Amino acid sequence: MAVRNFWIEADIDGRTTTLTGGPRSKDGGFSLDIFIRDEGASTKAITIMGHVIGGRLTLSAVDCINIRNAQALRITTHR
């Protein structure tokens, strides 16, 4: 597996291929929104972001449904 700053792999029921990808540049990042159905409406449940901040790689996940009480999960590493 070719790992850049970040690499995403997603297996989805009913799909024959895996969704994969990553940023092209060494300073590249990504954002991913995942939605869930709530009482018939589509609601953003979580946002996952990968960014380069000060030469370090930072991965954050924010609970969008409980945003008032949400605490972001944050992972920071050296390249």
Domain-wise residue ranges, the chain? 8-78
Residue 68: per-residue pLDDT: 65
State pTM to two decimals. Answer: 0.79
Tell the burial category of 33 from Cβ atoms under 10 Å away from its Cβ (0-12, 13-18, 19+).
exposed
Residue 74: per-residue pLDDT: 85
Say if residue 10's pLDDT is above 90: yes
Residue 27: per-residue pLDDT: 87
Residue 71: per-residue pLDDT: 65
